[in-house]
Amino acid sequence: MGALREKMIEEMRLRNFSPRTQKSYVAAMVGLVKHYRRSPDQLTQDEIRSYLLHLEERGLSPSSRNIAVSGLKFFYHQILGWTEQKLFIPPRKRTWVLPEVLSQQEVEQLLLATVKLRDRCLLMTAYGTGLRVGELVSLKLSDLDPQRMMIRVEQGKGRKDRYTILSERLLSLLQRYRRAYQPAHWIFFGKDRTRPLDISAAQKVYNLAKLKAGIHKGKGIHTLRHCFATHLLEAGVDLVTIQTLLGHHTIQSTQRYLQIRQQKLDSTVSPLDLLRLPN
């Protein structure tokens, strides 16, 4: 893409897009260019639409395809100046998948399966705070506020700051971790102590613990964020508070946890059991 790629990155930076969004949008355009082996400004509307169908045939998830659509729309509308009519991509029906959630007993098994103090601290922080994985690995020592028992989340999703809770148990473990590993800036660092831990490394820690614990549900470390929200809801915490802690833009995103809280489902009687049928 050359100059067009640089212009796209420049426009995204001017709009204060997060590094992750920039990377995703550029990757969407690179995929398109590699598919046709031509510059994107030489492609037709039909070719672009055919490429999106190709992504579906490849088995990409709906969320991955939606990111690709957003990246293509940004490029053609903002960089090439195409109108909505020239690049007509029909609105996509939004898919709504309920998250997989571990029980409290499974979370205990997961944490006990960790061997290294660093790994247990990482997973306990993910579960105890409800942070996204990108927010988790970006935590700095200065983000901890033991006086108020809060953790500051700097520039989370949507480029917004927020606070989440810091539990006594997690604070105690973090203090022990700090004495053992002596982090200088980033709480969880990689091989290079001046850089935060890579997201893929955090995922690997979770997957290894899950394997050792014999747990077969919950795809990635983001599962612990779902557990945080669901277990708070089951403990009686109100939705608005959970929304604030998670950093959800709308309450609708938080309301999906209502559908998977255990007490509500357990107390619901099947209508089949209400019928007066002979045994």
CA-CA distance, 12 to 25, in Å (whole number)? 9
User: Annotated catalytic, 132?
Assistant: yes
What is the location of CATH 1.10.150.130 in the chain? Answer: 3-79
User: Annotated catalytic, 25?
Assistant: no
User: Annotated catalytic, 257?
Assistant: yes
Catalytic: which of 73, 248, 256, 261? Answer: 248
Phi, psi of 169 (to 5 degrees): -65, -40
Catalytic: which of 65, 118, 120, 132? Answer: 132
User: Annotated catalytic, 225?
Assistant: yes
User: Annotated catalytic, 157?
Assistant: yes
What's this model's pTM, rounded to 2 decimal places? 0.73
pLDDT in tens for each of the 279 residues of the chain?
Answer: 689 999 999 999 999 888 889 999 999 999 999 999 999 999 999 999 999 999 989 988 888 899 999 999 999 999 999 998 898 888 776 666 778 899 999 999 999 999 999 999 999 999 999 999 999 999 999 999 999 999 999 866 666 789 999 999 999 999 999 999 999 999 999 888 999 999 999 999 999 999 999 999 998 999 999 999 999 988 888 999 999 999 988 888 888 887 777 655 555 555 656 667 776
Select from 1.10.150.130, 3.40.50.720, 1.10.340.30, 1.10.3720.10 the CATH code of 3-79: 1.10.150.130
Q: Rg for the chain (alpha carbons), in Å?
A: 22
User: Annotated catalytic, 248?
Assistant: yes
CB 243 within 8 A of CB 157: no
Q: Is the domain defined by 104-265 classed in CATH 1.10.443.10?
A: yes
